[in-house]
Structure 1
Amino acid sequence: MILMGVIFAYLLGSIPTAVWYGKIFHGVDVRQHGSGNAGATNSLRTFGRKAGIIVLIIDFLKGFLAVLSARFFFSDTTLDKYLFLMMGIAAVIGHLYPVFAQFRGGKGVATALGVIAASFPMTVILCLVVFLIIVFITKYVSLGSMISALAFPIQIAFNVWGINPDHDPYYLAFGSFLCLILVFTHRHNIQRLMKGTENKIGAKK
């Protein structure tokens, strides 16, 4: 059951929303345009606001439903307490390396956000606030994504060692791993940020 759950989550995460949207409605592969990323931000820049919103929502739902499916359909396993964490990670990895799109996916932000929303509903609120503040101040979506990802394990750490000492430390490992994944997928953005060549949201091409 555990393996089945992880495979299901990976396949769900592998749905290449941006790639399929671009090919169906525009006849092009979004990965050949803009930043080359198969995600909501590049869909927004390449195809417009409608595409960006649709891709964002579906990618979010991939992570959200992966976690919910762990809780509702695989709760009979002895590791049900941690299965939703494993399936959440599997969904994000599926988005990064989708079997349905030559293993070339997006950066996992929207899918990870869905995982966090389903796993820790209150935590996601602060992550969104941090993201919006950083993007509003700097106009860098990538920077907002990375800092909000860092805010996630920090909040869990407060629960583990501070506010709620009984909070499971495995949650901290999960949050830290998810944060590291997102920082890794933004490694090229980090280089561009350091060089001052990173794209700003709303900037003219």
Structure 2
Amino acid sequence: MNGATPAVLGGAVVVAFLIGSVNPATIAARLLGKDLTASGSGNPGATNAGRVLGRRWGVLVGVLDVLKGLAPTFFAGQWFGAHAAYAVGLAAILGHIFSPFLHGRGGKGVATTLGAILGVHPWVAIVVLGVFAVAVVLTRWVAAGSIFAALGLLVTAGVVLAGRAPGDLWTGLWLIAIALVVLWRHDKNVIGWWRQRHLH
């Protein structure tokens, strides 16, 4: 099935947002009698879950966060095409960040963003994951990996837009949009890093 009516697409976007809103980190923490918002960085995401609950829980939460972005985006792409997948993927990411189940508060959306990219452009996801891994190894800082991965997405978007092939415009704009969302969610990390560099 290719293409979707506005009503069907709207319904898919709402469902993706709600799927993204389910926060595995918070659920795992509550099962273990912990409160992530009052522990570690206070962020209800995989990194803080690993810090507070243990590495295995962090990995599990990270995998589930990736699946939240992957599953809706992949199926939307298969059923309705790439444009629908872009809208659905962005909705899942925003659901994770602005979870109504957490009163509008959520994680930083990195794992869910990776899942969304993986669902529609696997090779881009592999490149981004590689940039993330290298940055984390070199800096020993997960936030730095996320920031450099987002910058890598912007570079990839530029390459896509320069290609001028059919469909490249929307692909490039989507990659830019999700990269900017990740950078925005790491604004405090970027500002802190900038100040640290200029204070030394």
* TM superposition score normalised by structure 1: 0.87
Could you tell me how far apart the structure 1 residues matched to 2:174 and 2:77 are? Answer: 16
Q: Take 1:182 and 1:166, find their aligned partners in 2: how far apart are those partners? A: 26
Q: 2-side partners of 1:81 and 1:105: how far apart?
A: 26
Return the match for 1:3 from 2, 6, 10: 10
* Amino acid in the other structure paired with 1:185: R
- Tell me if the contact between 1:159 and 1:167 (Cα under 8 Å) persists in the aligned partners: no
Q: Which residue of 2 aligns with 1:140?
A: 141
Q: Tell me how far apart the structure 2 counterparts of residues 126 and 5 of structure 1 sit (CA, whole Å).
A: 28
Deviation at 1:175, TM superposition (A): 0.6
Which amino acid is the alignment partner of residue 182 of structure 1? Answer: V
CA positional deviation for 1:66: 1.4
Q: Deviations over 1:14-71 (max 9, x none)?
A: 01110011001x2122111111111111011111111100100000000001102313
2:54 equivalent to 1:48:
yes
Query: Which range is displaced more, 28-37 or 7-16?
Result: 28-37
Match of 1:113 in 2: 114
1:84 aligns to 2:90 (yes or no):
no
2:95 matched to which residue of 1? Answer: 94
Q: Which residue of 2 aligns with 1:201?
A: none
Report what 2:45 is aligned to. 39
Give the unaligned 5+ runs of structure 2.
1-7
Partners in 1 of 2:114 and 2:77 — Cα distance?
17
Report if aligned partners of 2:157, 2:176 keep a CA contact under 8 Å in 1.
no
Work out whether residues 22 and 29 of structure 1, in 8 Å CA contact, stay in contact via their aligned partners in 2: yes
2:61 is the counterpart of 1:60: no
- By how many angstroms is 1:159 displaced? 2.8
What displacement does 1:167 show? Answer: 4.6
Q: Tell me which protein shows more helix as a share of its residues.
A: 2
Q: How many residues align?
A: 190
Residue 12 in 1 paired to residue 25 in 2?
A: no
Flag the 1:167–1:158 CA change in 2: closer, same or farther, 3 A. Answer: farther
Letter in 1 for 2:148: I
CA contact (8 A) 2:16 2:72 kept: yes
- 1:10, 1:91 within 8 Å by CA — same for their partners in 2? yes
After superposition, the C-alpha distances for 1:114-166 in whole angstroms (9 at most, x for unaligned) are 0011111111111111111111111111111011112123223213314x634
Judged with a 3 Å threshold, the aligned counterparts in structure 2 of structure 1 residues 50 and 150 are, in CA distance, closer, same or farther, namely same
Q: Is 1:36–1:42's contact at 8 Å kept on the other side of the alignment? A: yes
The residue that corresponds to 2:194 in the other structure is: 194
Please say if residues 77 and 120 of structure 2, whose CA atoms lie closer than 8 Å, have aligned partners that are also in contact: no
Alpha carbons 2:82, 2:120 under 8 Å: kept: no
Residues 50 and 59, structure 2, Cα contact 8 Å, conserved in 1: yes
Matched-pair contact (CA < 8 Å) for 1:160–1:166: no
TM-score of the aligned structures, taking structure 2 as reference length:
0.89
Question: Matched residues in 1 for 2:19 and 2:154: separation?
Answer: 24
User: Please, what is the CA RMSD of the aligned residues?
Assistant: 1.6
Structure 1's unaligned 5+ residue stretches are 198-205
